[in-house]
Structure 1
Amino acid sequence: MTMQSILGNFALILFVLMVITGIIWVLDVFYLSKQRRASADRALAEYDSRIAVSTANGIRHDGNAEKRAEIEAKILRQPTWIEYSGSFFPVIALVFVLRSFLFEPFKIPSSSMVPTLLVGDLILVNKFTYGIRLPIINEKIIPINDPQRGDVMVFKYPKDMSQDYIKRVIGVPGDKITYENKRLTVNGKPVTYAGLDDYLDDESLVYKKQYRESLTGVEHRILNDERAPTLNLSDVRDFPHKDACTYTYDGFTCVVPAGNYFMMGDNRDNSADSRYWGFVPDKNIVGKAVAVWMNLSNPRRIGGIQ
């Protein structure tokens, strides 16, 4: 499922704005403000000299202090472009640091993770739980934790790195994943399922089978559409390490390569995922989805993600 960041690569836009406003702020603090101070001192000295000459000639001046303050304030006043840059810089820098290293907001635009995540959910993604990464280039510099089966993870779509996707981690490096007749087997152990009430799909207005899936101890809900085949072989594309997978009309088996992850949507028959476009390399990871913080059409959606 594609997740759209504001104006595409928002991190790059923030970085450029932070650099520009930061340079202006530094330039003003260490150079331009000192120039204005020097200009104000010269103007005040000239003013005091004129007042002294006038006073010596018997001319009385009232309000000298107010006039000096007016002259000084006018010269020391920051130009508008410097004033705005200085005001925006700390705000932009704070937002950049927060969304680059701590939490980043996303909006869910499609239904591939229903019923866990609904269209319109505004979610928070933990950027540090899987390691500290450099912004823009997404290079990991401090490893912390590895993704675990059952995690809901945001990552760069391997076919188009400008797009952010969100799916559930089904397989970690070394796992053998089998999906047949819409049931998962992980490393030879069948995943357990418990039937729930049918789920009404808001998009198609069709009831789908709903199950509670226990993926190696992580319980979550999934949907199956009885009308859909287990796998659309015609939609399977070429991808790196495709030789690690075996496809049949009834499903597939894949062994997850080192440094990669196998991802699937919870709306199993309405999700383009690793079944069709392959594994997700570690370098593509963005972070772990941890909470829904708002859904404007359904405020009751606020809460953690399982």
Structure 2
Amino acid sequence: MLEYWKLRRRRRKLKHFGAQVRLLAHRDDDLLATEQKNKLAELNGEVQSLLKSRDPVAIDAFLGNCQARLAEYCPPPSFQTLREYLDVAAVALVVAFGIRALALQPFQIPTGSMQPTLFGVHYIAEQGKANPYQGKLPEFLDFLLFSTRPARAEIGRGGYLEPGSVKAVTANGIFTDTEFVIGGEHYQLPGEPKKVREYARLDRFGGFRPGEVLADGYLSLGDHLFVDRISHHLFGMNRGDVVVFNTEGIIGAGGRPLVEMSGLYYIKRLVGLPGDTLKIVNNQLWIKPAGDAEFQPATAFSEAFQKIYSNQGGYHGHTNNPVGVIGQYLNVDGTEFEVPPDSYFMMGDNSLFSYDSRGWGVVPRRNIVGKALFVFWPFSRRWGVADSHPPLAVPTGQLDGSTFQPMRQQ
């Protein structure tokens, strides 16, 4: 009986070695030379013969030097440990990108339409900055931690902005800057031309005086967050959710497709579900769900609306018309709109300067990408679970305009 169990252990070791040989031959088939493949086939053949023979002496003799023969036929590659780590890293990246494609999607807030819940690309004046550490660190740390770049320019020689001189350039091989010429002198500030024209006031009437400051602050690249692409399929969506959607098929002002006007993706707050009837009266959004007889204020449906009507930290309720935009829906106090089936009514928290469903209508269900999940950059007070922070305990009317001014972008 003892000899039986000894033979059984020998055969198990022999099978494991045979599996090792076959795995190596299969895994490295495209790397092995013909001679190496023949040697591996020879080793595997010996294993199969010994398994049939059941000769313990022959099996012991083979097992005694089989690993040495395998190493001789197929020497381990140089830097094998490093290669194994790289293999693991490659698999981890594949898994990470798979999760990203199926469940999470990074998204950059492009504009100020959700301010102060989420910040898009915006200018921060030095005298109005809220972050006490801003500017006290090296520039690269300011960028890594706070997503900001210094924006400073002072007029040297007075004059006028030269027509056609404003153009985008690449800075440090990564960032987009804008060059322009005033009074024969060249200037460069961070950001796309549209953004620089806005914060440096380049399109104003008249000339520029020597010593005039065009910018003295920072350009923030906006909040970056992960979007949850799964939960809305499983649990649906609720009034008050912050939602990312694509603009395909949505027509904006003047009959132009929204995707051509301001990009493929928008982020807004869902305020109306299919079947809801909506109206705005005295800067208050009212909602009547399908089948209900009475309107109720938005605050009755979600705590998310509480801060919008707090008049704290930059929140200012909901308005009928954004500045500079002729609304099509809810544009007059008391005007009602019923949300059609499979559609959603979206509005920005920065209601006064948000181009949203009031201007272009509803978002079809098929356009929904997902819900805002987690702000991962920059490391500001908004870092963490999206839309989870209360407003600053400062009345909106008393806030410094350079810090909390509603942004005139959509």
Normalised by the length of structure 1, the TM-score is 0.56
Aligned partners of 2:25, 2:358: CA distance in 1, in Å? 57
Cα 1:154–1:300 shift into 2, 3 Å: closer
Shift of 1:97: 2.3
Distance 1:178 1:225, change over 3 A: closer
Aligned-partner Cα distance in 2 for 1:289–1:186? 23
Match of 1:230 in 2: 320
Contact 1:149 1:215 in 2 (8 A): no
Aligned partner of 1:160 in structure 2 is 259
Which string of whole-angstrom CA distances, capped at 9 and with x for unpartnered residues, describes residues 89-121 of structure 1? 523421232113332232323221122223433
Aligned mates of 2:30, 2:383 — CA distance in 1: 55
Partner of 1:36: 31
- 1:305 and 2:406 aligned: no
The partner residue of 1:178 within 275, 279, 284 is 279
One-letter identity of the residue aligned with 1:218: E
CA shift digits 1:189-222 (9 cap, x unpaired): 2416xxxxxxxxxxxxxxxxxxxxx151333322
Spell out the pairing of 1:121-200 with structure 2 (5 A cutoff). 121-131=223-233, 144-157=234-247, 158=250, 159-160=258-259, 163-187=264-288, 188-191=294-297
For the aligned residue pairs, the C-alpha RMSD in angstroms reads 4.2
Residues 151-200 of structure 1 show CA distances to partners (whole Å, capped at 9, x for unaligned) of 111111243296221111100000001123322111142416xxxxxxxx
Q: Which structure 2 residues correspond to residues 210-225 of structure 1 after superposition, within 5 A?
A: 214-220=299-305, 221-222=307-308, 223-224=315-316
Structure 1 residue 259: deviation in Å? 0.3
TM-score norm. by structure 2 comes to 0.43
SS at match of 1:186: strand
Kept in 2: contact 1:230–1:251 (CA 8 A): no
Long gaps (5+) in structure 2: 1-23, 42-66, 121-221, 251-257, 289-293, 309-314, 389-410
* Partner of residue 54, structure 1: none
Rounded Cα–Cα distance in structure 1 between residues aligned with 2:367 and 2:280? 24
State the distance in 2 between where 1:73 and 1:112 align: 62
For residue 271 of structure 2, what is the amino acid of its counterpart?
I
Aligned in 2, Cα 1:36/1:230: closer, same or farther, shift over 3 Å? closer
SS of the residue corresponding to residue 267 of structure 2 reads strand
Cα distance in 1 for residues equivalent to 2:106 and 2:296: 35
User: Equivalent residue for 1:113?
Assistant: 114
Partner of 1:61: none
Shift of 1:282: 0.8
Offset at residue 234 of structure 1 (A):
7.3
Aligned to 1:101: 102
C-alpha deviation, 1:231, in angstroms: 1.2
Which amino acid in the other structure matches residue 160 of structure 1? V
What secondary structure does 1:97 align onto?
helix
From the CA coordinates, give the structure whose radius of gyration is larger: 2
Deviation string, structure 1 residues 23-73 (Cα, Å, up to 9, x no partner): xxxxxx99782243452245899xxxxxxxxxxxxxxxxxxx999957733
**Aligned residue identity for 2:360:** W
Distance 1:121 1:31, change over 3 A: same
1:64-79 pair list within 5 angstroms = 69=71, 72-73=74-75
**Contact 2:118-2:382 within 8 A present in 1 as well:** no
Q: Distance in 1 between matches of 2:371 and 2:320?
A: 28
Deviation track 1:103-160 (CA, whole Å, cap 9, x = no partner) reads 22323232211222234333232221111xxxxxxxxxxxx22211111111112432
Secondary structure at the aligned position of 2:75 is classed as helix
The amino acid that maps onto 1:73 is P
Residue pair 1:236, 1:277 contacting (<8 A) in 2 also: no
Inter-CA distance 68–271: structure 2 relative to 1 (3 Å threshold): same
Partners of 2:304 and 2:373 in 1: CA distance? 15
Determine if contact 2:320/2:331 at 8 Å carries over to the other structure. no
Structure 1 counterpart of 2:347, one-letter code:
M
Identity across matched positions, percent: 31
Matched position secondary structure for 2:304: strand
Q: Tell me how far apart the structure 2 counterparts of residues 71 and 302 of structure 1 sit (CA, whole Å).
A: 55
The answer to which structure, 1 or 2, has the higher relative contact order (CA under 8 A, 6+ apart) is 1
Q: Distance in 2 between matches of 1:174 and 1:122?
A: 33
Secondary structure of 2:266's aligned partner? strand
Higher strand share: 1
Indicate if the aligned counterparts of 2:226 and 2:375 stay in contact, CA closer than 8 A: yes
Q: Indicate the residue corresponding to 1:272 in structure 2.
A: 355
Q: Secondary structure at the match of 1:235?
A: coil
